[in-house]
A and B are shown apart, each in its own frame.
Chain A
């Protein structure tokens, strides 16, 4: 609001004097008007323009060390007709499994915190799930190696209990290892998203269901999940996209040749095939946008932003 100087003049009339300098500078017609454009400018500079450049460059011609302007589908044809597409599909499959496991493990935590932890403590409990993010992701992922490995804690423990005689080698350096790594790394996403989504489920609904004799399973499947679906979907998308894009997990925990889309792009850059790397990135973005479109049609994702009644 503009701060103005009110002045009494003869006859008791009040007139509005000119606003102060700072009033004008930060007033409705001053900088304040433009401050609201900052997020839009930020998104244009750091998201829209790089995204458009990525798409444009993906159609460029590759040169020995860089690329030159042109229009060719070669990178896309190369991607879809080579083994890279198989790698991409398998990493989508593994990421999908990670999403399901994260939902099974993480969403009940969110429901539990929302229902059973006193309201004053809920946010503090949820904040505990941020703690793992304080540790470098490389270290977090690498620390799974001495746990899951041939001579790791899991195998040693099982051997000491006499459950197995030979170490299990199908945990590490396999797709299972990648899925375990993704679940460990991305579980908090579904907890956060689920916690927020549970705000859409009024507490009285649980009491009504209890009074009507509904089982916990029926309450979960018929009430909680449908109401919290937009938030669950958003959390799932976070995990899925990270599973596709974060290269270090298949790099550290995957078997021979384990790759995801992020690693495909990284390896293309290492081989100085920049248009291919751009095409892989563009395909990832299109995949993400497609997912968001489907999610919005199914669950109306704008409900996440609606105020709680």
Chain B
């Protein structure tokens, strides 16, 4: 890995050096020789919003206008392997100026491999607007830092929870107990991913006193085995209808009423409710939730091409309530800045119903974030091999 990575970097740096020398010889400042053209970003589709509240935007035009830069977008999946392959052993640094991925692991991985650059927060005017828990000593501090330096700008986050069909169930569900309750045998689903599924189950088992777990985000081999065995026993009883994989899959099983309870992302619940017309709700679990964020990172290639200023302009937009209010209304993601409610009060483009939705979702999120049993997503748990092996056993059971 190291050899190939170094080779790629060496080739790239040689090429950069040649071009820089040419630029210098022609009297053109190095950074401005590259600073023309759009900011090349590699990110997920839901990283953008439209100016019209509640829309994802047809393209990146509204984000460009808001940030005052040009953007060239390349679609990216959310899986960690894709980013690692592209940025550490592939040509990601030559292609992209900025990328997104999960905080709380990916920034460590990419920074330790020299793929991303430190962020100069003084160049982001809205940095002071960032939520308090990202500041030093806060619960999210480590999700944007590597060795104490800031390498990531959070733009969305959430506390994943349980979606349930209120039309069929009636009442409110406020415990993961419901997901594992026999009354929903054959009508329950979890995500086909050992990360969130083991973590949420671990949170439930720990907080309900059913299993001793020190840290659901980074379990020991024995703890992983206990969590997996709990799921295996349920699976053998036919409890799970399926383990869903992919956004549309998650939406479909809820909307079609194949399942009545499902641990899932909030956008899945929002779209399922909209699609089916059913009262599909997103609960606040008293035991806790897996919390996560997604962060923007500036690539070393982007710095070398002189794209840092455009990156900081874009980050300023991401940390503005303009973006926070829209991503909350459109996708249900938590804003990463203060002042969203104050912003929509004065924003005439938000209708009364939209304002109410934003306020309600924000209140729900704050309630979920306030639960003491929450655990942050861990992209690379210490015993990842045990996680993998036990997940295979759950699948085979």
Contact = CB atoms under 8 A, between A and B. Distances in A.
B257 A259 contact: no
A-B pairs, 5 with minimum CB distance:
A257-B395, A66-B1, A83-B396, A256-B240, A83-B393
Contacts of B193: 270
Interface of B: 1-2, 79-81, 84, 88-89, 109, 113, 186, 189-190, 192-194, 235, 240-243, 245-246, 248-249, 252, 256-258, 380, 384-385, 387-389, 391-397
A288 interface: no
Q: Give the interface size bracket for A toward B.
A: 35 or more
Contacts of B396: 83-84, 86-87, 90, 257
A151 B257 contact: yes
7 contacts: A82-B393, A83-B397, A86-B396, A150-B256, A254-B242, A256-B242, A259-B395
Contacts of A252: 249
Contact of B384 (A142, A145, A271): A271
Given A151-B256, A269-B81, A87 B392 contact: yes
A4 interface: no
B44 to A, nearest CB: 16
A136 to B, nearest CB: 13
Contacts, number: 99
Contact of B88 (A65, A86, A145, A269): A65
B interface majority secondary structure = helix
Nearest to B258: A150
Contacts of B258: 149-150, 172-173
B252 A145 contact: yes
Interface of A: 63-68, 78, 82-84, 86-87, 90, 142, 145-146, 149-152, 169, 172-173, 251-252, 254-259, 264, 267-273
Contacts of B397: 83, 257
Contacts of A251: 192, 245-246, 249
A268 B84 CA distance: 14
Contacts of B186: 169
A9 B2 CA distance: 71
B391 to A, nearest CB: 8
Contact of B242 (A66, A142, A173, A269): A173
